[in-house]
Amino acid sequence: MSPASPHSVGVEVARHTQGLDTVTEETDELAVEEPLEIRVEGQPVAVTMRTPGNDLDLVAGFLLTEGVIDGWDDVHAMAHVVDPAVPRENTVDTVLAAGVPAARARSADRAFYASSSCGICGKTTIDRIFSRIEPVGPPPLDDPLLRVLHDLPDRLRTVQTAFQRTGGLHAAGLFDGTGELLVMREDIGRHNAVDKVIGAAIQTDLDLRQTLLVVSGRAGFEIVQKALVAGIPLLAAVGAPSSLAADLARRGGMVLVGFLRNGRFNRYGRLSPSPGAPPVG
């Protein structure tokens, strides 16, 4: 193997182009996957498999969408923990601002969701989410945006430099109501890409309630959950949503778009929620 970038690594491969008859030896680039340990006040909170790069954005987004912090003001300091025994910095520790209880990170009421492989994603999990968030307000869904919505996956793809090298990374992008790309991040995990985008956004003055999120893969429960917690009113996915994701979007007043490709898309969820309306059971 040879290093190519923080996102990819060069690997020797034998390409079979015509069955077993034609073989060429080349170097291919594969997406890097390494563990990241997330700590709060020195205590381990979670480990996620991610593509190195934008780690602080990832941790900031993770802590927000999992309810440890309410915003960037809740963070006093965040940095990699340097360990000379490992080749890369694979641990990030966060010191919370004064008055923010570190116990949030260890609360028994919290749970980390593992998308479709999770066995606890059901009514109890959804009720727990709505115990700490408000339904999102009406999304910026008007005719000009509907007309430009088709173009957003292509706009996202043009800046996916790591994907173009490896073909193995998911992307998430935040756009404004005119279709302008505001933030883009890539990762081998689709939920990590979303956390990176949200984490980058909360460190600025960007109002997430005035944005829409586009993801390159499918829209699972965890992706919708993270977008709802962040206050994003519209989530668009190139792939399909799951039934639980659609239900969560409906209860949260979010517009969920699926199959956004080839000049078409499907809309799911409540299209015109009343501000502050309670979730529908």
Q: Which mean pLDDT values do the consecutive 10-residue runs of the chain (281 residues) have?
A: 53 70 73 89 91 95 93 96 76 94 65 39 59 69 73 85 62 92 93 96 93 93 92 94 90 92 82 40 30
Q: What is the pTM of this model?
A: 0.82
C-alpha 34/C-alpha 238 separation (Å) is 26
Q: Is 3.10.20.10 the CATH number for 34-120? A: yes
Q: Where are the domains of the chain?
A: 2-31, 34-120, 143-268
Domain 143-268: top CATH class: alpha beta
Q: In this predicted structure, what is the pLDDT of residue 126?
A: 63
Q: Please give the Cα distance from 191 to 65 (Å, whole number).
A: 11
| Per-residue pLDDT at 102 | 79
* One-character DSSP codes across the chain: -EE--SSEEEEEEEEESSTTS-EEEEEEEEE--EEEEEEETTEEEEEEEE-SS-HHHHHHHHHHHTTS-SSGGGEEEEEE---TTSSS--EEEEEEPTT--GGGGG-TT-----GGG-S--SHHHHHHHHTT-PPP------HHHHHHHTTHHHHHHTT-HHHHHHS--EEEEEE-TT--EEEEEEESSHHHHHHHHHHHHHTTT--GGG-EEEESS-B-HHHHHHHHHHT--EEEESSPBPHHHHHHHHHHT-EEEEEEETTEEEEES-SSPPTTPPPP-
pLDDT tens track for 185-210: 999 899 999 999 999 999 998 999 99
CB 230 within 8 A of CB 261: no
Active-site annotation holder among 9, 56, 111, 118: 118
| Paired residues of 219 in beta bridges | 241
Report pLDDT digits (tens) over 50-88: 999 999 999 999 999 988 999 999 999 999 998 777 666
CB 31 within 8 A of CB 52: no
Catalytic site includes residue 118: yes
- Note whether 240 and 258 are within 8 A (CB): yes
Q: Based on the number of CB atoms within 10 Å of its own CB, is 256 exposed (0-12), middle (13-18) or buried (19 or more)?
A: buried
| The predicted structure's pLDDT at residue 141 | 58
178: its two tokens = 């005119």
Show the CA angle centred on residue 274, arms to residues 271 and 278, nearest 5°: 105
